């Protein structure tokens, strides 16, 4: 897991940083699949248990970019702002993605996220799988 923008941490809400980062992703050539799993929740114990039984998992990264580059299957990004801390559950899930061949990173600012994007997208196109490949489910 690499860290980007730690020296110039974002001051503000993490949700604002995330919205700005997602907007940047909408301009990535090839329009890769980019999404956020809404697993941050403040809810009753009953509703929380119901969500957990449906697969909600603590620690899932803020943005998942499903497009292989170089030796990586995709990019998993945890976003943090000034005063934030990478939680143990987030480290665990990022480590899991890394073991599965994903590039994992923490971005602490918008500039850090841009730096991360430049690094990831400068990797050569993947030779293993792209969204242009035919999948045969038979």
Q: How confident is the model at residue 37 (pLDDT cuts 50, 70, 90)?
A: confident
Supply the range of the domain harboring residue 28: 2-121
Measured CA to CA, the distance from residue 32 to residue 70 in angstroms comes to 15
Higher pLDDT, 44 or 72: 72
Number of domains in the chain: 1
Q: Does residue 15 fall inside a structural domain?
A: yes
Q: Does residue 85 fall inside a structural domain?
A: yes
Q: How confident is the model at residue 25 (pLDDT cuts 50, 70, 90)?
A: very high
Q: Does residue 108 fall inside a structural domain?
A: yes
Q: Specify the pLDDT at position 137.
A: 45
Q: Specify the pLDDT at position 116.
A: 96
Q: Does residue 138 fall inside a structural domain?
A: no
> Does residue 42 contact residue 51 with C-beta atoms inside 8 Å?
no
Q: Specify the pLDDT at position 135.
A: 44
Q: Does residue 129 fall inside a structural domain?
A: no
Q: Does residue 90 fall inside a structural domain?
A: yes
User: In sequence order, what are the residues at sequence separation of 6 or more whose Cβ sits closer than 8 angstroms to the Cβ of residue 99?
Assistant: none
Say which CATH number the domain at 18 has. 3.40.1350.10
Q: Does residue 126 fall inside a structural domain?
A: no
Q: Does residue 127 fall inside a structural domain?
A: no
pTM, rounded to two decimals: 0.83
Mean pLDDT taken over the chain: 86
Higher pLDDT, 47 or 26: 26
Following DSSP, what letter does each residue of 10-68 receive, concatenated? --S-HHHHHHHHHHHHTTSTT--EEE---------HHHHHHHHHTT--TT--SEEEE--
User: Highest mean pLDDT: which of 13-27, 38-52, 55-69, 120-134?
Assistant: 13-27
């Amino acid at each position: 897991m690499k860290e980007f923008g730690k020296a110039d941490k974002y001051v503000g809400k993490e949700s604002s940083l995330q919205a700005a980062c997602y907007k940047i992703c909408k301009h990535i050539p090839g329009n890769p699949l980019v999404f956020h799993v809404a697993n941050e929740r403040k809810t009753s114990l009953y509703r929380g248990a119901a969500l957990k039984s449906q697969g909600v998992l603590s620690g899932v990264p803020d943005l998942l970019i499903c497009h292989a580059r170089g030796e990586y299957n995709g990019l998993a990004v945890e976003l943090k702002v000034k005063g934030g801390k990478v939680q143990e559950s987030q480290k665990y899930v990022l480590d899991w993605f890394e073991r599965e061949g994903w590039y994992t990173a923490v971005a602490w600012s918008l500039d850090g996220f841009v730096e991360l994007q430049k690094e990831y997208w400068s990797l050569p196109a993947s030779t293993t799988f792209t969204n242009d490949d035919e999948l045969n489910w038979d």
